[in-house]
Amino acid sequence: MSDPQVFLDAALDALGPRGLTLDPDLITPWLTDWRGRYTGAALAMASPASTQELAALVRLCAEHNVPIVPQGGNSGMVGGATPDAQGKSLLLSMRRMNTIGDFDVAARKVTCGAGVVLQTLHEAAERHGLRFPLTLGGKGSATVGGLIATNAGGTQVLRHGSMGALVLGLEAVLADGRVFSMLKPLKKDNRGFDLKQLLIGSEGTLGIVTAATLKLVPVVAERMVIWAGVPSASVARQLLLHCEDAVGQALEGFEIMPHLSIEAVKEHAPSLRPPLAQSHAWHVLIEIVAGQGASEPPAERGAAMLEDAFEKGLLEDAAIAANEAQADGFWLIRDTVPAAERARGPAVQHDISVPVEDMPGFIDAAVPALESAWPGTEAIAFGHLGDGNVHFHVIAPQGSDGVSWQAGDGKAISRQVHDLVTAWNGSISAEHGIGQLKRDELARLGDPVALEMMRQVKRALDPQGLLNPGKLI
Amino acid sequence: MSDPQVFLDAALDALGPRGLTLDPDLITPWLTDWRGRYTGAALAMASPASTQELAALVRLCAEHNVPIVPQGGNSGMVGGATPDAQGKSLLLSMRRMNTIGDFDVAARKVTCGAGVVLQTLHEAAERHGLRFPLTLGGKGSATVGGLIATNAGGTQVLRHGSMGALVLGLEAVLADGRVFSMLKPLKKDNRGFDLKQLLIGSEGTLGIVTAATLKLVPVVAERMVIWAGVPSASVARQLLLHCEDAVGQALEGFEIMPHLSIEAVKEHAPSLRPPLAQSHAWHVLIEIVAGQGASEPPAERGAAMLEDAFEKGLLEDAAIAANEAQADGFWLIRDTVPAAERARGPAVQHDISVPVEDMPGFIDAAVPALESAWPGTEAIAFGHLGDGNVHFHVIAPQGSDGVSWQAGDGKAISRQVHDLVTAWNGSISAEHGIGQLKRDELARLGDPVALEMMRQVKRALDPQGLLNPGKLI
C-alpha cells in the first residue's frame, strides 16, 4: 500500500463526507462479527451511495493496493464480513445502497440494491401482494447483497431453494472497478457459462454484489401448520417422503428437532408450550401452503395426508394449529431452539449437509459417536431435514469454561464432526458459507482439485487479492 | 506441437486400438456438423472408455500441446463440436463412456456417463417408473455430456428448466488432466461458489464433462394436450399467464406457432391434419400433466381452465386430444415445423430470447421490420413462449440460391436480428450455445465486461488454450 493518507483523501473526494468515515465510534460496532468470535481493524469505513461511487472507490483501492472487506448487515455466521486485525483494509458498508425498485407484479420480480434489509424487502413485497420466499433468523439485519454473497438458506429452501435460486439478475463491481451488469433477467440464456452463478456464494472474493433482480412468489393465502411427534430421524424422513408424495409443491417447511431441543426451549422460555403432551424422541414442524393453481385448500389436503400418515405408522401424535396465532406459536418454538441451546452453556456449532437420504443414518451414527468420545457433552441435530441440512451442535459438559473449552476440546470436536461429514460425502458448510471460521477446515478437507479451481478463478478475477482477503480460499 | 507421431504413439499406448483411430472412413462422418455448415480435419479420433483413460489422454495432449475437440452425438446447432480445418486437433469422441448407473428410485436420481444418448436415458428411466424431463429433436443422438456442455433446452424447460437445472452432480476432466469430481449430490453446499455451474454451458472450453448425476421425476400418469387458436402473440402470452394461474406446476408445455408455420406443415406433410378447422393468426400447443400431489386429474383442471379462457376471450377455438395417439399427433405437428420450414427454401435461423413478458412485443416489432427491410423474405417466430425463447427464422425470397443468399443477405439479416434482440435486452443464444457459428456475433454484441470475465476464467483454467479452441470465446 502506498501512503494511506493519499488514498483516504482521494476516497473522500470520490465519496463525500457521508461516504467515508474514520470515526472510531462509527466504525467499531461493525468490526466485530455478531457471534462475537472475531474482531478486526480497518483503515476507514466507506459507505458508497451508488454503483458508480463504489466502482470509483474500487479503482482507487486497486491503484493504492488497499484490501476491501464488504459488509452487509454484519449478521453472517462465519466471520466473512470482519476484517483482519492489521487495520490496512477498508471496511465497505453496502448499507446505503438500499433502494427497492418498482415491483413488477405481473412478472413477479423486483430489482433492489445490495443494502436492502431482508425484512424490509419482505414488507415491501407484501404490500404488492407478493412474497420473497427466503427467511432466516437474522432477517432484521441481513442484506440482499450478503444473502447473495453467502448463498444463504433458511427454512423455506425445501420448496423455493437457497438465495442463488431466487436471483434472476445481478450487478457487481469487479476487483478492478469494472461493473458486471446483468440485471435484466432472461429465462434462457446460453451465451457461455453462467457468470451470475460464479458471483453467488463467492463471499465477496470475486466481486462486490451491488444490486439484484429477485424472484417473487404469490403471498400465502392459507397455510396449515402441523406439529408431529415421531420415534426416530428415520421415521421423520419417511414422513417427509409421505408429505412430498401427498402434497408436492405445497409442502413449504419440514423442520426436525430432537427431544433435547424441546426440553431446552421449555427451560429457556417456560411461556412457550410445546403442542404435544407426551414426550417424543423427535419433533417435526410441517407447513403446507395453498399451492399456486391448487383447487383444494391446504387444510383439507393436509388433514387427509395426516390421516394417511397415522395409518402407516409414521406419526406417534400430531397437533394442527387452529389459527394463525397458534401457527406462529409453533414456529416460535422452532425459532427459539438456537437461543435455548446457547442458554444451556457453551457449544460448538456445525452447519452441515449430507445427501438428503443419508441424513437419518448420519444423525444416528454421529450423535452417539460424539457423545461417547467426549463424555459429558450433548450432541443435538436440528433443522432442515428436507434439504439434508442440520445444525449439529455439541454442548460442553456442565461447568465448562466457554472460552477455554471452545479453544481446546471444542476445536477437536469440530474436526471430528467435519471428518464424519466428509466421510459421509457431505459438506462442512451447508448454508452459512466458509468465511474465516471454516477456511482452514475447508483447506484440510476440501477436494484439492475443487480448491485449486477456486484459487485459479480467484487469481484470474482478482490478481491483486484485494477482495475480502483471508476469506473462503 | 511436438512431433505428432510421438503423441499418437503415446496416445495409442494409453487408449489401446479401440480407443484411437486414424482411419479416415471412421473419422470423416464426425468432421462435419449435422447442419452441414462446418467441416474440419483432425489428427486422429480418440474414444476413451473411462475417466481415467481420458485423464491420461488429456495429460498427453497438454504435454504435446495438442488441442482437443470434445464431441458427443454431433447434433449441436452451432458447430461447437467440429474442429477447424488445420487438422492439428484431436477429435475426442465421448460416445464409449455410455454407462448408466443404478437408478435410485426413492431419491429420483441416476449417475451416467457423458456418452449416454438422451433417448437411451429416457427409455432406461421409464423402465424404473421415472422420467428424465428434457427432450429435443436430436434425442436419438444427443448425449448427456453434450447436453450439459451446451446447457440444452427443449420443450419441457417451462416446468423443469434447462439441462443445468437437472444436473445434481458432475465429473469432468480439466485441461491439465486433473479430475473434478462432484457426483454425490448435496441439496445444500456452500463451500464456495458453484464450480459445477461453471462447467455447465462452457461448451467444452473449461473442462470435459465425463459423467453426471441427473435429476429424475415421476412418469406422467396422465396428460391433457390442447391445441388452441389465438389472434395474436400478445393474447398467447395472456393465455399462458392464465394457464399458469390455473394449473401452476402442472403446465408442462406451452409452444406457439404462427399461421405460416402451420401452412408450411400442411404443405410439407399433407398427412398431418392441424386440429382446428378455421385459420388463426397464432396456434398454441398446451400440455398439462398430473402434478405430483395433485388430487384432481389434469383433464378436469384443464377443462375448467379452458372454459375460463373462452369466457375471458383468450381463445378463438380449441381442441382437446381425445387420446394418447391424438396427443402424439398434436406434438408431431409442432415437431414438424422446423423440417417444413427447411422444405420451403433456404433460411437463416436464430435461437433467441428476450425477457418473457417482452416476447409478444418483440415478435410484433421484429417480424414486420425484417420483412420490410428484406422484400420477399418471410419471418417466422415459433417455439417456447413460456421461456421467452423463440426460434426466429427468416426464409429467403423464392428462387434464391441457398448458399450465396445465406453468405450474403442471410448474414446481414442475422446481424439485424441480433441487433434487435440486443436492443430488447435479449440473448443471441437462448438454448443452442455459441460454438463457432455465433462466436463473432457474441464478440460484437456481448457485454465487454462479461466477455472479459469469461476470457479470464478460460485463461486461468486452460492456460494453454487446448480445450475446444475457437469456440465460444
CA B14 to chain centre: 33
Q: CB of A162 within 8 Å of any CB in chain B?
A: yes
Nearest to B227 by CA among B290, B299, B159, B276: B276
Please list, in sequence order, all residues whose beta carbon lies within 8 angstroms of the beta carbon of residue B447, skipping any fewer than 6 positions away: A180, A181, A182
pLDDT value of residue A56:
98
Contacts of range B440-444, beta carbons closer than 8 Å, 24 or more positions apart: B441/B414, B441/B415, B442/A191, B442/A192, B442/B472, B442/B473, B443/B473, B444/B418
pLDDT value of residue A143:
98
**Measuring CA to CA, how many Å separate A288 from each of A135, A246, A298, B28, B29?**
16, 11, 6, 58, 55
Instruction: Enumerate the residues of chain B whose CB falls inside 8 A of the CB of residue A164.
Output: 194
Q: B108, B183, B191, B288: which to substitute to probe chain A, counting the most A Cβ within 10 Å?
A: B191
pLDDT value of residue B302:
86
Give the whole-angstrom CA distance, residue B415 versus residue B2.
Answer: 40
On whether the CB atoms of residues A206 and A178 are closer than 8 A, the answer is no
* Closest by Cβ to A429, choosing from B107, B180, B191: B191
What count of CB pairs under 8 Å joins A to B?
A: 255
- Residue owning grid cell 495432449: B61
pLDDT confidence band for B295 (50 / 70 / 90): low
- Closest-CA distance, A62 to chain B, in angstroms, reads 17
Q: Check CB contact under 8 Å for B296 and A296.
A: yes
Q: Considering only A336-340, A375-379, B8-12, B450-454, which range has the smallest mean pLDDT?
A: A336-340
| Positions in chain A short of pLDDT 50 | none
Give the whole-angstrom CA distance, residue A192 versus residue A207.
Answer: 19
pLDDT at residue B291 greater than cutoff 70: no
Q: Check CB contact under 8 Å for B178 and A206.
A: no
Q: Check CB contact under 8 Å for A249 and B249.
A: yes
Please list, in sequence order, all residues whose beta carbon lies within 8 angstroms of the beta carbon of residue A36, skipping any fewer than 6 positions away: none
Q: What is the mean pLDDT of residues B119-135?
A: 96
- Closest-CA distance, A199 to chain B, in angstroms, reads 7
- Closest-CA distance, B386 to chain A, in angstroms, reads 9
Question: The whole model's pTM is what?
Answer: 0.95
Instruction: Enumerate the residues of chain B whose CB falls inside 8 A of the CB of residue A428.
Output: 191
Q: Check CB contact under 8 Å for B431 and A190.
A: yes
pLDDT confidence band for B300 (50 / 70 / 90): confident
SS3 B347: strand
Instruction: Enumerate the residues of chain A whose CB falls inside 8 A of the CB of residue B250.
Output: 293
Searching chain A, which residue's CA lies closest to the CA of residue B165?
A165
Nearest to B232 by CA among B412, B336, B361: B361
Element (H, E) at B350: strand B347-353
Residue B218, class by beta-carbon neighbours within 10 Å (0-12 exposed, 13-18 middle, 19+ buried)? middle
Instruction: Enumerate the residues of chain A whose CB falls inside 8 A of the CB of residue B430.
Output: 186, 188-190
Q: Check CB contact under 8 Å for B194 and A249.
A: no
Q: Check CB contact under 8 Å for A355 and B107.
A: yes
Give the whole-angstrom CA distance, residue B437 versus residue B472.
Answer: 9
Q: What is the mean pLDDT of residues B228-252?
A: 92
| AA letter at B439 | R
On whether the CB atoms of residues A226 and A306 are closer than 8 A, the answer is yes
Instruction: Enumerate the residues of chain B whose CB falls inside 8 A of the CB of residue A353.
Output: 186-189
* Closest by Cβ to B247, choosing from A178, A293, A357: A293
Q: Check CB contact under 8 Å for B457 and A198.
A: yes
Q: What is the mean pLDDT of residues B217-227?
A: 90
Residue A222, class by beta-carbon neighbours within 10 Å (0-12 exposed, 13-18 middle, 19+ buried)? exposed
Q: CB of B65 within 8 Å of any CB in chain A?
A: no
Q: Check CB contact under 8 Å for B188 and A388.
A: yes
Element (H, E) at A319: strand A317-320
Q: Check CB contact under 8 Å for A456 and B461.
A: yes
Query: Can you read off the three cell numbers belonging to residue B291?
Result: 402434478
* Closest by Cβ to A449, choosing from B180, B200, B354: B180
pLDDT value of residue B106:
87
Question: Would you say the C-alpha torsion A186, A188, A189, A192 has a positive or negative sign?
Answer: positive
Nearest to B20 by CA among B37, B41, B43: B43
Searching chain A, which residue's CA lies closest to the CA of residue B386?
A187
Q: CB of B190 within 8 Å of any CB in chain A?
A: yes
Instruction: Enumerate the residues of chain B whose CB falls inside 8 A of the CB of residue A452.
Output: 178
- Closest-CA distance, B430 to chain A, in angstroms, reads 4
Q: Check CB contact under 8 Å for B193 and A197.
A: yes
pLDDT value of residue B261:
95
- Closest-CA distance, B268 to chain A, in angstroms, reads 30
- Mean pLDDT over the full length of chain B: 95
Instruction: Enumerate the residues of chain A whose CB falls inside 8 A of the CB of residue B184.
Output: 355, 425
Give the whole-angstrom CA distance, residue B440 versus residue A81.
Answer: 41
pLDDT value of residue B298:
78
Q: Among residues 379-408 of chain B, which lie with CB inside 8 Å of chain A?
A: 384, 387-389
Q: Check CB contact under 8 Å for B189 and A461.
A: no
Searching chain B, which residue's CA lies closest to the CA of residue A432?
B190
Backbone dihedral angles phi then psi of residue B70, each to the nearest 5 degrees = -75, 145
Searching chain B, which residue's CA lies closest to the CA of residue A430?
B189
On whether the CB atoms of residues B144 and B115 are closer than 8 A, the answer is yes
Q: Check CB contact under 8 Å for A193 and B454.
A: yes
Tell me how many degrees the CA angle B15-B17-B23 measures, rounded to the nearest 5. Answer: 115
Searching chain B, which residue's CA lies closest to the CA of residue A453?
B461
Searching chain B, which residue's CA lies closest to the CA of residue A198?
B193
Searching chain A, which residue's CA lies closest to the CA of residue B246?
A293
Q: A108, A179, A187: which to substitute to probe chain B, counting the most B Cβ within 10 Å?
A: A187
**β-bridge pairing B179-182 and A389-395:** unpaired
Q: Among residues 293-352 of chain A, which lie with CB inside 8 Å of chain B?
A: 293-296, 301
Q: Check CB contact under 8 Å for A293 and B248.
A: yes
Give the whole-angstrom CA distance, residue A79 versus residue B468.
Answer: 40
Give the whole-angstrom CA distance, residue B75 versus residue A255.
Answer: 45
* Closest by Cβ to A247, choosing from B162, B293, B446: B293
Q: Among residues 408-447 of chain A, which lie with CB inside 8 Å of chain B?
A: 425-434, 442, 446-447
Residue A100, class by beta-carbon neighbours within 10 Å (0-12 exposed, 13-18 middle, 19+ buried)? middle
Q: Among residues 108-147 of chain A, which lie with CB inside 8 Å of chain B?
A: none
Q: What is the mean pLDDT of residues B364-388?
A: 96
Interior/surface letters A40-78, b for 16+ CB within 10 angstroms, e for the rest: bbbbbbbbbbbbebbbbbbbbbbebebbbbbbbbbbbbb
Backbone dihedral angles phi then psi of residue B316, each to the nearest 5 degrees = -90, -35
Instruction: Enumerate the residues of chain B whose CB falls inside 8 A of the CB of residue A447.
Output: 180-182
Give the whole-angstrom CA distance, residue A230 versus residue A309.
Answer: 11
Instruction: Enumerate the residues of chain A whose CB falls inside 8 A of the CB of residue B247.
Output: 293
Contacts of range A451-458, beta carbons closer than 8 Å, 24 or more positions apart: A452/B178, A453/B174, A453/B180, A453/B195, A453/B198, A453/B461, A454/B192, A454/B193, A454/B195, A456/B460, A456/B461, A457/A198, A457/A206, A457/B193, A457/B198, A457/B457, A457/B460, A457/B461, A458/A205, A458/A206
